[in-house]
Amino acid sequence: MLIIMHINSTENQLEAVKQRIRAMNLTPHVIPGQTRCAIGITGNKGTLSPDLFKNLPGVVQCIPVTKPYKLVSREVRQEDTIIDLDGIKIGGKEIMIIAGPCAVENEEQIMLISQKLAEMGVKIFRGGAYKPRTSPYSFQGIGEKGLKLLAKVRAETGMKIVSEAIDNETLTIVAEYVDIIQIGARNMYNYSLLKKAGQLRKPVLLKRGLSATLEEFLMAAEYIASEGNFNIILCERGIRTFSDYSRNTLDMNLIPAIKRLSHLPILVDPSHATGDRKTVLPLARGAIAVGADGILVEVHHEPEVALSDGPQSLYPLQFKQLMKQLEKIALVSRSETGYF
Ligand code: PEP
Ligand code: MN
């Protein structure tokens, strides 16, 4: 259920509606919008009757929410959510290109690549300090030392930082250093981690699980939102299919579908979707063409010696060209809205 308050409703009226919801052992979520203030309700098992709220002062309308994911759905909020990091926006008119190496390896590597990317105009830098690897024998990341180096990158370049938390323990540490907390594909179903990330107020970049349906993906985001954190950025990063010529299969269908069903911004990660830098380039272009809010892409100045994901990491020059191409594609794809 979504309760729409009158544009001129008072704080007291809003509080009274929230009290009524709490008295029923349910949770109110205030969802401010540009043209209306709404209150989403979660915790109910069955449908709620509009009669319970429609006569309360300040209430204009009660709208049943038909989707299982509520707070992240367009039914509850029609305007796009824009994540704003001191004026650096994800989900707005402009596309956002997040770039950096798969992993923070050492100081020399991270300072070198971050310098190059900052000069190219990158605003948000990625780099894993804790790496969830398929093999326990593969490079696992340099941990907190890596986060400290990322903080140095921010201090020296002004770029914002995104890095992955792989469990509840690392979430607390990662949150201390980064501007955006990444929750990786393998953890999309880790509901205790999602809840904990929801209790923080830092933006969360949530990647789609390897075999997650659209509904499961949005329900994972709902876990974060239901704890009060609406600063969520979705990321399609390829799913498992029978196709075996690429690392994963990039599900381009998902982008317009998510745009229609949810107000959250969605990025595409063409690096993990393909596993091969030659394919990363066309798929990155495709992602912007189908309406993604940006991309998350791996770039390394020496991919041949990268400690993880070298084959899919772009060379800086390739990346520079790609950025120019994406700007042009975005001029076309973002001039048209109308997801509904
Ligand atoms: C990553 O972005 O570094 C990563 C491990 O991605 P994913 O969770 O999508 O595999
Ligand atoms: Mn990687």
Query: To test the ligand 1 pocket, which listed residue (142, 166, 181, 182) has its Cβ within 8 A of the most ligand atoms?
Result: 182
**Could you say which architecture CATH assigns to the domain 83-333?**
Alpha-Beta Barrel (3.20)
Angstrom CA distances, 26 to 82, 314, 317, stand at 27, 48, 53
| Token pair recorded at residue 61 | 């309308």
Measure 103 CA to ligand 2 centroid, in angstroms. Answer: 7
Cα 188 to the center of its chain, rounded Å: 12
Q: Where are the domains of the chain?
A: 2-63, 83-333
Half-sphere exposure of 135 (CA within 13 A, CB side): 4
DSSP strand pairing (232-236 vs 204-207): parallel
Ligand nearest to the CA of 134: 1
* CATH 3.30.70.1140 for the 2-63 domain, yes or no: yes
Q: Which residues line ligand 1 (CB under 6 A)?
A: 102, 128, 132, 164, 184-186, 207, 237, 269, 272
Contacts of 310 (CB under 8 A, 6+ apart): 300, 303, 304
Q: DSSP for 28-61?
A: EEEEE-SS-EEEEEE--SSPPPGGGTTTSTTEEE
Give long-range contacts, CB 8 A cutoff, 24+ apart: 25-34.
27/226, 29/71, 29/225, 29/226, 29/228, 31/2, 31/71, 31/76, 31/77, 31/230, 33/77, 33/78, 33/79, 34/79
The residue whose CA has the least distance to atom 10 of ligand 1 is 185
Structure-token pair, residue 116:
């190059």
Q: Do domains 2-63 and 83-333 have the same CATH topology?
A: no
pLDDT at 340: 41
124 vs 104: CA distance, rounded Å: 15
Mean pLDDT by 10 residues, the chain (340 residues): 91 95 95 83 89 94 89 93 97 96 98 98 98 93 98 98 98 98 98 97 97 98 96 98 95 97 98 97 98 98 97 98 97 70
For residue 115, how far is its CA from the centre of ligand 1 (angstroms)? Answer: 23
Residue minimizing CA distance to atom 3 of ligand 1: 102
Per-residue model confidence (pLDDT) at position 336? 63
312 phi and psi angles, rounded to 5 deg: -100, -5
Residue whose Cα lies nearest atom 6 of ligand 1: it is: 184
Among candidates 276, 323, 290, which has minimal Cα distance to 99?
Answer: 323
- The answer to whether the CB of 174 falls within 8 A of the CB of 163 is yes
How far is ligand 2, taken at its centre, from the CA of residue 272, in Å? Answer: 6
The model's pTM: 0.94
Q: Pairing between strand 88-90 and 83-85?
A: antiparallel
Nearest to 201 by CA among 185, 217, 167, 178: 178
